[in-house]
Amino acid sequence: MPMQSLIDLFLHELGDIYDAEQRIVQILPQLAGESADPQTQNVYRQHLQETQQQIQNIEQCFQVLGVQPQRQNCAAVAGLKQEHDAFMQERPTPAILTMYDLGAAAEIEHYGIASYQGLIEQCALLGQQDCAQLLQKNLQQEQTMLRNVTSLAHQLGQQSASQQASLGLQGGADTLSQTSAGGV
């Protein structure tokens, strides 16, 4: 039977973020373990606890609707994890891996923010204010997490850039302009 109702669409999307958050619970401890920066490790660990709470909020949302929680494979977050694993093959230094992971975490948060915003919009159409409130909590935590990882990436990026400059590793602007002059 074709899917034709807004509630079925909503449940599908809720199942997607339900799957995504459970994948993220697996990913966050790995990111914390890989991070060379203690403040970054703390941010991942704190968000792990928040994510566990977010999963409960989603389960409560299913409950409000009288539906058994069901995961829908979230290929997007699974794909970001695959990209991470492929990047590890490049043998990044701890500092570079820390920067990469902050970027990946920001990508994951953007996905979560877009998902929750869409779901909250659908709650309004369906008159599901209780669900909307639960998902709003998740959205706010995702927005805070995005701000945290963005500012850490900025901070650590500045530090890395000045360290590399002092080690003469940068080559940066010169190398880049030579490369572009070479027509690449």
Residues comprising the chain, all counted? 184
Residues numbered 5 to 34 that lie near Fe ion (CB under 5 A) are none
CB 3 to Fe ion: min, Å: 27
Question: Are the beta carbons of 89 and 150 closer than 8 angstroms?
Answer: no
The span of 65-73, 92-100, 121-129, 140-148 binding Fe ion (CB under 5 A) equals 140-148
Question: Are the beta carbons of 20 and 76 closer than 8 angstroms?
Answer: yes
Please report the DSSP string for 79-111 in residue order: HHHHHHHHHHTT---HHHHHHHHHHHHHHHHHH
Residues numbered 82 to 121 that lie near Fe ion (CB under 5 A) are 112
The mark string for 142-181 relative to Fe ion (x by CB under 5 A, - otherwise) is x---------------------------------------
- E strand or H helix that includes residue 21: helix 6-34
Taking the least distance from each CB to Fe ion, the nearer of 145 and 156 is 145
CB 47 to Fe ion: min, Å: 6
d(CA 84, CA 89): 9
The span of 7-15, 68-76, 136-144, 176-184 binding Fe ion (CB under 5 A) equals 136-144
Q: Which residues bind Fe ion (CB under 5 A)?
A: 112, 142
